[in-house]
């Protein structure tokens, strides 16, 4: 067994604990340690990506208990992809926080690193109940981060977020209970084996559980009608937190991909593609409501929050096609949108810091100190978000459109995505031209000087769009391989035969 | 890859050229023209091969999975356009050197201009439709930035956004169209697509494909009904108008039609869609141009009209018409670019472009006037100029078009009418500007000739007009031939390029157009008066109001849905859960499995009744917060009893201690909240919520009934069997927690730690005002720490600690464990806080609870990491038996260390959370102090 599999979980966990011990240490030292932790997490993710790319499954039996009895971690291409997307995003967000965010309240770094722990557990675990635990870890950490910095609006939006997610957690437990009561197992590979063998009298229970689970994941990924908590929560969070949260909805999407390809995938017999008939139409409506929200936004950060919902809709629509091509396209899009939206959140914060009382509202204000730089970054990230060439958004959109097969499905998908894209274009050009070009006389007294960390991290995250274009070939090969791997879950269930470390007293 | 180099050169230039901005305008202009010159030199050697009718294709794979390759194609058509782009590009760069003022951001300007040039070259040289699409949208984005170059002007910003919306939107349609072609043909490579014309035309998707691609072409080339963006794009600096909006970008749509001509043309759909669109555009543009007082406005509408003419020619579908179309592309580019430059010079020298004010410039700038008049004459179609030749060809083709019945007259009539308008507005351009009396109120007076070099680009283009007009076969003959051959896919019809084809019907039409146009111009006042009667539509304002309307509508919809009400969102969540589970639940129905229902005994029934009563009571009494809290604790305690009854002592113990801690926590928070919840809901919503709650309850009951009555075989048997031999403990629950599923526990204590830290962080800077009295208005007790309570609680502490140590140690084999022990310790410590106050307690507990929490998580994690050293995976446990005198044989297990971590985390987290809440304000001192003061 390869201990590297635990690295993305243990590094941020121990790093986070260390931060608590260092509560009274000088800020500079804490920052150095925190950044080191995040960098190490990224390195671990890179190592795992290298491992996963050979296409085999790697299993790690925690406590050396033979699956399905103990909890196992499973590394496959999808898990590695999610790890790396998260780690890269986190690194930039973390650097950004060094400007001032981490001094706005205690324990920022701890919460940030625990958040990473939770995310990484979710991506690596091969156990349904442990996924619940992972969700709890990342939920509670995200709640702490959401409230970081204080303020009434932040607290109210955060409260909505946490209450809804607690209801979600309860539903998660219900559904896990229903599934466990009949299948008698929590291990996802084992479930994949047991679900097709269900007797017809037990089928409705698992079906109910499976569909309830979809609701929970839908809440996490913010699909219509469960998305309305998101805009306020995200747009009111501090910038690096909001940017990091760009990956939070993707956890829900990851869970959908994992559970509904493995447990309720092709081979699930009666329950094959459970709930997927709901997914496609819902996703299209989500996309549409995202565009409407974007058009109606009066602030940059709200706009970007709705952009998150648009990307959720786009990805799930592609996944709802239930073809390998659709999944591959969705994953390509996921990489692009996570980083770009993260960059946009950081950028919006820089903009608002230079506009005094105008903040990030889309209104006339005195010219920003770094208008040209911020404007250029906005242009790049908007082009990437809308999906215009030559940036990564275009390629991912192209992949999604190509994934549809001719028929009603194609007509719906194409028209919603393309018409949506058109309105996004209008909204971004409108907002951008007001914020960056329509300037009033006068100047702002305390215009935020762009420090090195914030400039570097924002530009870096936005610039990743270009990196994706440059590496489009390899990335696409990887996502295609990932989709293929997801589509043949037989390999995943073989992990049950994995031997534990012998020569043991057992 | 020399073709890729040609495309890349301007992009590289866009990065390099701005570095010369500091060195002055001349330096940057020279630097900017280098890419064009190098590109021209690179293309030169290909001429021989192309003259033979071959196409050069260079191909590098990029994303084969989606059919996107870096493949470039140079054939006659591509060469013709590339030459236009490069040559006019150089002229524009030179011209802009004098047009831009010193203080302007020349670096940005040239950089964008070069970006545009690169994108445009990309379009015409792409051999892959997806690659072409990339460059296509890139031109839209760059043109947006160029139009809004003077972004402090509102008109410029609006014009730019409108252009972006239309052309960018059209690009999306084109994207769909191109993807459909890919679906039909199976490739995006041009040589495959062009060869598959019959397959495409016969395909069921052909009409929609064609329509989408044409929308792309029409938006870019400003065809009706998308033509309105072009005149508003004239807010751009004049070099941009000359380059993008007359010579190159607006020709991209035309280029697309020419490029895909072999694949798409030749059907009725093509004919009707393209030719009628062209016809309408031709007429509308020409008509409106006459009434524009703005020089550039006139030229812009004339451009629209000429683009319509070219479109109409392509639409006609005959080979000769296509040749004429390609020819007119060249002619229009030359005369229109020079006219724009002349207009720019006039604007530059007089400070205005209003033709009602600039009159009689002949006296002030005869050189410029001569150039402009020649170009305008070409625009009108005066013989011996290039505009004449292609227009004659157009007239001839209009006559050839055999529409059924009376419709046959339509094309020639439209052509002649448009010709009349063209002559009229050209005459106006010449007469109004250079003659017609004296200038009126010019901002700059008197006007002068511009700098010498500013006129050179105009001179070169005007010379080209003359050369083509007089020696067409010699000057453009070969180029036109290979371009036409590439457009038509090989066969070029017989045609002769000549100054005149003798006396024939087209010449007659030209004559009619001339005399008609001159008459019309002489009677212009009447037309102006007639035109005045119609309200002019400002498309920009319409566009703005549409955008605003859409924005407001969206905002209203958003506010309706996303109204910030938690109740609403929760309702949606529940309804969604119902909706998706409704069907499987009906399938399930009232299902009882094969296990018999167990008999009901009286104590259980009583307990259940009390439980139900307390639960209902909690809901009913929820406005009386304290009462409801007490009822809630009854629920919790009964659940603990139930656990105990159904032989789950561990759960019972846990539930009991958790209940205690939770209730204390809630009481602490209630202190700051109003004692009563105000009524904020209507009767309807309450009953609605009752309904939802009932539905949820019934659903859960059905599910629980079904799942508890089914025979159950699960992994738990493994746990029962292996607990002792594998985990070293007989208490299976504890072994599951610390061993089998220790990772879950590690996660959960992390959750606890985070929660406590979160509460601490949230409360640290929050200070709340404690209420002065209780809810009935009574003052708080003056004695916050009653002696009795203190006296009882203090001796309780060591006892309680001993109990928790006991519970902890026996946990592995008997009910107990770190979690429960931790809670017991926490409760014991909290009672000290309650009895003796925060200050007293904190003086005695020196370790900050955060550190305790961290220690707990660290110990648990590091215990797990320890197994690496022995070659076992994370969290593998180890145990052995040891014996000591007196105590006897006992077990040593790593799981115990792990459990110690759990214990510490629980103690630390509970106390950190509770003390954070307790310290929100300091009621024990402040409130009682104020009362004392008040009382004494």
Task: Give the whole-angstrom CA distance, residue B324 versus residue B391.
Answer: 8
- Residue at token pair 């648009």: A310
Alpha helices in B317-385 (DSSP H): 319-350, 366-380
Q: From the CA of B746, how many Å to the nearest CA of chain A?
A: 9
**Cα angle vertex B219, ends B213, B220, to 5°?**
95
Total beta-carbon pairs less than 8 A apart between chain A and chain B: 340
Q: What pTM was estimated for this model as a whole?
A: 0.92
Spell A231-254 as b/e; 16+ CB within 10 A means b: bbbbbbbbbbbbbbbbbbbbbbbb
Closest-CA distance, B199 to chain A, in angstroms, reads 17
Contact A228/B715, CB-based, under 8 Å?
Answer: no
Q: What is the pLDDT of residue B710?
A: 81
For A9-58, the pLDDT digits (tens) are: 999 999 999 999 988 888 899 999 999 999 999 999 999 999 999 988 99
Pairing relationship of beta strands B56-63 and B68-74 according to DSSP bridges: antiparallel
Q: In 3-state terms, what secondary structure has residue A409? A: helix
Interface test mutation site (partner B, options A205, A366, A378, A435, max chain B beta carbons within 10 A): A205
CB count, 10 Å around CB of A194?
18
Query: How far from each other are the two terminal CA atoms of chain B, in whole angstroms?
Result: 97
Contacts of B311 (CB under 8 A, 6+ apart): B218, B221, B223, B254, B257, B274, B275, B277, B278, B281, B282
Q: Residue for token digits 């391989």? A: A481
Q: How far is B840 from chain A (nearest CA, A)?
A: 24
Tens of pLDDT, residues A225-283: 899 989 998 988 999 999 999 999 999 999 999 999 999 988 888 888 888 888 999 99
Whether residue A254 contacts residue A82, with contact meaning beta carbons closer than 8 Å, is answered with yes
The answer to whether A456 and A95 are in contact (CB under 8 A) is yes
For B872, phi and psi rounded to 5 degrees? -110, 160
Neighbours of B537 (CB within 10 A): 9
> What is the 8-class DSSP label of residue B247?
I
Q: Going by C-beta distance under 8 Å and a sequence separation of 6 or more, which residues neighbour residue B586?
A: none
**Band of the pLDDT at A75, cuts 50, 70, 90?**
very high
- Which tokens belong to B400? 């050839």
B304 DSSP β-pair partners: none
Write down the mean pLDDT value for chain A.
90
Report CB contact under 8 Å: B874, A167. no
Which pLDDT belongs to residue A503? 54
CA-nearest of A500, B659, B742 to B733 is B742
| Contacting residues of B for A14, CB less than 8 Å apart | 858, 861-862
Rg for chain A, CA atoms, rounded: 22
CB contact under 8 A, A389 and B725: no
| Alpha carbon of B885: minimum distance to chain A alpha carbons (Å) | 27
Name the DSSP letter for residue B204: T
**Contacts for B569 with CB less than 8 Å, ≥ 6 apart:** A160, A164, A226, A228, A229
Is the alpha carbon torsion for B585, B586, B590, B595 positive or negative?
negative
Give the pLDDT confidence score for residue A89 in this predicted structure: 95
Contact (CB<8Å) A147/B762: yes
A88 min Cα distance to partner chain B (Å): 23
8 Å CB contact between A305 and A234: yes
Q: Select from A212, A216, A429, A478 the residue whose CB has the most chain B CBs within 10 Å, as the one to mutate to test that interface.
A: A429
- For chain A, the structural domain boundaries read 3-492
Instruction: Give the pLDDT confidence of A330-360 residue by residue, as tens digits.
Output: 999 999 999 999 999 999 999 988 888 888 8
Which residue of A130, A187, A395 is in closest CB contact with B743?
A130
Q: Which residue has the tokens 């060439």?
A: A389
**In A, which residues are within 8 Å of B868 by CB distance?**
3
| pLDDT value of position B775 | 66
- The sign one gets for the Cα dihedral B838, B841, B844, B845 is negative
What per-residue confidence (pLDDT) applies to B700?
Answer: 87
ipTM of the complex: 0.92
Which region, left, alpha or beta, applies to residue B679 given φ > 0 means left and ψ of -120 to 50 means alpha?
A: beta
- Whether residues A501 and B766 touch (CB distance < 8 A) is answered with no
- Give the residue on B whose Cα is nearest the Cα of A501: B872
- Closest in B175, B554, B587 to A418, CB measured: B175
**The pLDDT value given to residue B718:** 83
CB contact under 8 A, B585 and A208: yes
Residue with structure tokens 């097969």? A405
Q: Locate the chain A residue with the closest alpha carbon to B760.
A: A106
Q: Give the long-range contacts of residues B396-404, CB within 8 A, separation 24 or more.
A: B396/B320, B396/B504, B396/B505, B396/B506, B397/B313, B397/B316, B397/B318, B397/B320, B397/B321, B397/B324, B398/B316, B399/B505, B399/B506, B399/B509, B400/B316, B400/B318, B400/B320, B400/B321, B401/B275, B401/B316, B401/B318
Cβ burial, residue A480 (10 Å; 0-12/13-18/19+): buried
Rg (CA), chain B: 43
Closest by Cβ to A133, choosing from B557, B573, B744: B744
Q: Answer yes or no: do B857 and A17 touch at CB < 8 A.
A: yes
CA distance A52 to B431: 76
Asked if A208 and B581 come within 8 Å (Cβ–Cβ), the reply is yes
Q: Closest to B551 (Cβ–Cβ): which among A295, A394, A504?
A: A295
Taking CA–CA distances from A293, the nearest residue in chain B reads B558
Q: What is the pLDDT of residue B185?
A: 92
Query: What is the DSSP secondary structure assignment for residue B17, as one 8-state letter?
Result: G
Q: Which residues contact B226 (CB under 8 A, 6 or more apart)?
A: B166, B170, B218, B219
CA–CA dist A106, A150 (Å, integer): 11
Question: Cα–Cα distance between B242 and B248 in angstroms, integer?
Answer: 9
Q: Which residues of B touch A427 (CB under 8 A)?
A: 551
Instruction: Yes or no: say if B226 and B166 are a contact pair by the CB < 8 Å rule.
Output: yes
- Between CA B452 and CA B433 the distance in angstroms is 21
Give which of B64, B176, B751, B856 to mutate to test A binding, by max A Cβ within 10 Å. Answer: B751
Residue B174: which residues within 8 A CB-CB, separation 6 or more? B133, B136, B212, B213, B215, B216, B217, B256
Interface test with A, best of B136, B580, B864 (most A CBs within 10 A): B580
Tell me whether residues B708 and A181 touch, CB distance under 8 A.
yes
pLDDT along chain B (936 residues), means of 10: 88 92 89 92 87 84 85 92 94 92 90 94 94 93 92 90 92 93 92 91 93 95 90 90 88 93 90 92 91 90 93 89 91 92 90 87 90 92 88 87 80 90 91 86 83 90 90 86 86 78 82 88 83 80 89 90 87 91 82 77 90 91 87 92 86 89 85 77 87 88 85 78 81 85 92 91 76 73 79 88 89 84 91 84 84 93 89 85 76 85 93 83 46 34
Q: Looking at the partner chain, which of B148, B577, B710 has a beta carbon nearest the beta carbon of A215?
A: B577
* pLDDT at res. B10: 93
Long-range Cβ contacts of B628-633 (<8 Å, 24+ apart): B629/B663, B629/B666, B629/B667, B629/B670, B632/B663, B632/B666, B633/B659, B633/B663
Interchain contact, A207 vs B587, CB within 8 Å: yes
b/e B415-435 (16+ beta carbons within 10 angstroms → b): bbbbbbbbbbbbbbbbbbbbe
Q: Looking at the complex, report in whole angstroms how far the Cα of residue A150 sits from the nearest Cα belonging to chain B.
A: 7
Supply the pLDDT for residue B935.
32
Tell if the CB–CB gap between B552 and A296 is shorter than 8 Å: yes
Contacts of A418 in chain B (CB under 8 A): 172-173, 175-176
Nearest by CB to B554, which of A296, A394, A395?
A296
pLDDT for the residue B396: 87
Which of A208, A412, A480 is the best residue to mutate to test the B interface, defined by the most B CB atoms within 10 Å of its own CB? A208
Residue in A167, A389, A402 nearest the CB of B133: A389
Cα A429–A432–A434 angle (5° rounding)? 105
* Chain A residue whose CA is closest to B205: A406
Interface test with A, best of B66, B847, B909 (most A CBs within 10 A): B66
Chain B residue numbers touching A118 (CB-CB < 8 A): 747, 750
Dump pLDDT digits (tens) for A201-220: 888 889 999 999 999 999 99
> Which one has a higher pLDDT value, A497 or B255?
B255
Torsion of CA A88, A90, A96, A100, to 10 degrees: -170
């Amino acid at each position: 067994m390869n201990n590297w599999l635990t690295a993305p979980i243990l590094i941020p966990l121990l790093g986070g604990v260390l931060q608590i011990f260092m509560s009274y240490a000088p800020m500079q030292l804490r920052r150095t340690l925190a950044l080191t932790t995040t960098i190490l997490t990224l390195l671990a993710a890179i190592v795992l990506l290298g491992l996963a790319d050979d296409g085999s499954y790697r299993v790690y039996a925690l406590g050396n208990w033979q699956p399905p009895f103990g909890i196992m971690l499973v590394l496959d291409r999808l898990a590695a992809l999610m790890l790396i997307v998260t780690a890269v995003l986190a690194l930039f967000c973390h650097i950004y926080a060094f400007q001032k965010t981490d001094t706005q309240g205690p324990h920022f770094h701890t919460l940030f690193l625990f958040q990473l722990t939770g995310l990484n557990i979710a991506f690596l675990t091969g156990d349904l109940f442990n996924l619940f635990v992972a969700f709890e870890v990342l939920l509670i950490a995200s709640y702490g981060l959401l409230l970081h910095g204080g303020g009434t609006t932040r607290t109210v939006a955060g409260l909505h977020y946490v209450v809804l997610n607690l209801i979600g957690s309860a539903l998660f437990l219900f559904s896990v209970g229903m599934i466990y009561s009949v299948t008698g197992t929590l291990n996802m590979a084992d479930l994949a084996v047991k679900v097709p063998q269900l007797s017809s009298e037990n089928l409705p229970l698992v079906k109910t559980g499976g569909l309830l689970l979809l609701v929970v994941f839908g809440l996490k990924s913010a699909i219509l009608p469960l998305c309305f908590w998101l805009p306020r929560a995200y747009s009111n969070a501090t910038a690096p937190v909001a940017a990091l949260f760009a990956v939070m909805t993707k956890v829900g999407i990851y869970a959908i991909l994992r559970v509904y390809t493995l447990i309720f995938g092709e081979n699930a017999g009666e329950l094959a593609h459970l709930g997927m008939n709901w997914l496609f139409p819902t996703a299209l409506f989500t996309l549409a409501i995202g565009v409407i929200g974007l058009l109606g936004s009066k602030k940059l950060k709200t706009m970007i929050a709705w952009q998150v919902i648009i990307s959720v809709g786009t990805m799930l629509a592609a996944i709802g096609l239930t073809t390998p091509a659709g999944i591959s396209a969705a994953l390509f899009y996921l990489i692009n949108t996570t980083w770009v939206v993260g960059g946009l959140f950081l950028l919006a914060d820089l903009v608002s810091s230079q506009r005094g009382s105008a903040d990030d509202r889309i209104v006339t204000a005195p010219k920003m100190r770094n208008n040209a730089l911020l404007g250029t970054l906005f242009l790049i990230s908007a082009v990437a978000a809308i999906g215009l060439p030559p940036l990564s958004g275009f390629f991912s959109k192209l992949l999604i459109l190509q994934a549809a097969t001719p028929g009603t499905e194609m007509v719906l998908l194409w028209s919603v995505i393309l018409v949506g894209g058109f309105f996004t274009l209008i909204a971004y050009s409108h907002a951008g031209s007001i914020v960056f070009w329509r300037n009033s006389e006068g100047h702002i007294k305390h215009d935020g000087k762009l420090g090195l960390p914030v400039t570097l991290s924002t530009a870096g995250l936005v610039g990743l769009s270009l990196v994706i274009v440059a590496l489009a070939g390899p990335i696409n090969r990887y996502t295609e391989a990932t989709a293929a791997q997801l589509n043949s879950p037989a390999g995943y269930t073989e992990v049950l035969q994995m031997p534990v470390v012998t020569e043991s007293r057992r | 890859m020399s073709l890729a180099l040609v495309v890349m050169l301007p992009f590289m230039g866009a990065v390099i050229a701005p570095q010369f901005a500091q060195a002055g305008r001349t330096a940057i202009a020279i630097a900017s023209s280098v890419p064009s010159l190098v590109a021209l030199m690179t293309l030169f050697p290909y001429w021989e091969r192309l003259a033979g009718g071959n196409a050069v294709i260079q191909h590098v794979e990029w994303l084969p999975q989606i059919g996107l390759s870096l493949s470039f194609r140079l054939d006659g058509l591509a060469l013709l356009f590339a030459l236009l782009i490069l040559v006019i590009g150089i002229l524009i760069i030179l011209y802009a050197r004098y047009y831009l003022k010193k203080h302007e951001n020349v670096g940005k300007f040239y950089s964008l201009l070069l970006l545009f040039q690169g994108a445009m070259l990309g379009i015409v040289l792409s051999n892959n439709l997806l690659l072409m699409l990339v460059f296509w949208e890139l031109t839209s984005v760059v043109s947006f930035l160029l139009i809004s170059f003077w972004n402090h002007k509102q008109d410029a910003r609006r014009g730019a956004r409108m252009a972006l919306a239309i052309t960018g939107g059209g690009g999306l349609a084109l994207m769909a169209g191109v993807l459909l072609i890919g679906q039909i043909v199976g490739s995006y490579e041009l040589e495959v697509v062009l060869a598959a014309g019959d397959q495409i035309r016969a395909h069921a998707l052909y009409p929609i494909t064609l329509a989408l691609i044409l929308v792309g072409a029409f938006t870019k080339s400003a065809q009706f009904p998308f033509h309105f963006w072009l005149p508003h794009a004239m807010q751009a600096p004049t070099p941009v108008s000359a380059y993008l909006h007359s010579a190159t970008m607006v020709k991209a749509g035309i280029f697309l039609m020419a490029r895909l001509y072999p694949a798409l043309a030749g059907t009725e759909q093509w004919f009707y869609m393209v030719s009628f669109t062209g016809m309408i555009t031709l007429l509308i543009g020409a008509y409106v141009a006459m009434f524009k007082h703005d020089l550039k406005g006139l030229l812009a509408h004339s451009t629209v009209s000429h683009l319509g003419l070219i479109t109409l020619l392509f639409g006609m579908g005959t080979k000769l018409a296509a040749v004429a179309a390609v020819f007119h592309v060249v002619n229009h580019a030359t005369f229109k670019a020079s006219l724009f430059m002349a207009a720019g010079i006039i604007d530059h020298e007089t400070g205005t472009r209003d033709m009602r004010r600039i009159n009689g410039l002949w006296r002030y700038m005869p050189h410029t006037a001569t150039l402009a008049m020649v170009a305008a004459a070409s625009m009108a179609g005066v013989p011996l100029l290039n505009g004449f030749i292609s227009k004659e060809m157009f007239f001839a083709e209009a006559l050839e078009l055999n529409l059924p019945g009376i419709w046959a007259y339509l094309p020639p009539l439209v052509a002649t009418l448009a010709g009349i308008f063209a002559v009229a507005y050209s005459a106006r351009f010449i007469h109004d500007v250079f003659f017609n009396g004296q200038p009126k109120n010019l901002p700059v007076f008197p006007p002068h000739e511009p700098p010498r070099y500013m006129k050179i680009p105009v001179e070169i283009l005007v010379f080209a007009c003359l050369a083509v007009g007089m020696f067409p076969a010699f000057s453009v003959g070969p180029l036109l031939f290979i371009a036409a051959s590439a457009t038509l896919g090989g066969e070029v019809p017989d045609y002769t390029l000549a100054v005149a084809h003798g006396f024939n019907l087209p010449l007659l039409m030209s004559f009619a157009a001339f005399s008609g146009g001159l008459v019309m111009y002489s009677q212009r006042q009447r037309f102006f008066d007639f035109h005045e009667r119609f309200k002019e539509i400002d498309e920009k304002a319409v566009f703005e109001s549409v955008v605003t309307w859409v924005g407001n509508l969206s905002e209203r919809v958003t506010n309706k849905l996303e109204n910030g009400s938690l109740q609403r969102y929760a309702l949606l969540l529940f309804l969604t859960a119902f909706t998706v589970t409704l069907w499987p639940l009906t399938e399930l129905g009232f299902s009882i499995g094969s296990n018999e229902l167990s008999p009901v005994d009286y104590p259980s029934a009583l307990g259940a009744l009390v439980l139900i009563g307390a639960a209902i009571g909690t809901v009913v009494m929820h406005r009386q917060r304290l009462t409801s809290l007490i009822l809630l604790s009854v629920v919790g305690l009964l659940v603990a009893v139930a656990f105990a009854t159904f032989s789950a002592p561990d759960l019972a113990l846990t539930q009991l201690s958790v209940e205690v801690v939770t209730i204390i926590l809630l009481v602490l928070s209630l202190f700051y909240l109003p004692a009563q919840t105000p009524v904020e809901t209507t009767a309807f919503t309450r009953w609605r919520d009752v309904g939802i709650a009932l539905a949820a309850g019934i659903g859960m009951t059905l599910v629980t009934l079904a799942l508890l009555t089914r025979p159950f075989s699960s992994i738990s048997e493994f746990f029962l069997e292996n607990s002792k031999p594998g985990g070293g403990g007989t208490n299976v629950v504890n072994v599951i927690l610390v061993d089998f599923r220790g990772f879950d526990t590690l996660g959960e204590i992390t959750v606890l730690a985070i929660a406590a830290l979160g509460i601490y962080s949230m409360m640290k800077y929050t200070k709340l005002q404690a209420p002065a009295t209780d809810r009935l208005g009574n003052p708080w007790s003056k004695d916050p720490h009653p002696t009795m309570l203190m006296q009882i609680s203090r001796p309780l502490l060591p006892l309680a600690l001993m109990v928790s140590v006991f519970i902890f140690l026996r946990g592995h084999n008997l009910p107990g464990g770190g979690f429960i022990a931790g809670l017991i310790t926490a409760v014991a410590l909290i009672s000290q806080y309650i009895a003796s106050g925060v200050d007293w307690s904190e003086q005695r507990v020196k370790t900050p609870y955060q550190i305790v929490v961290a220690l707990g998580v660290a110990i648990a994690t590091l215990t797990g990491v320890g197994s690496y050293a022995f070659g076992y995976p994370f969290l593998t446990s180890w145990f052995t038996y040891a014996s000591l005198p007196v105590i006897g044989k006992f077990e040593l297990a790593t799981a115990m260390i792990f459990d110690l971590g759990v214990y510490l985390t629980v103690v630390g987290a509970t106390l950190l959370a509770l003390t954070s809440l307790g310290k929100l304000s300091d009621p024990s001192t402040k409130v009682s102090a104020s009362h004392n003061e008040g009382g004494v």
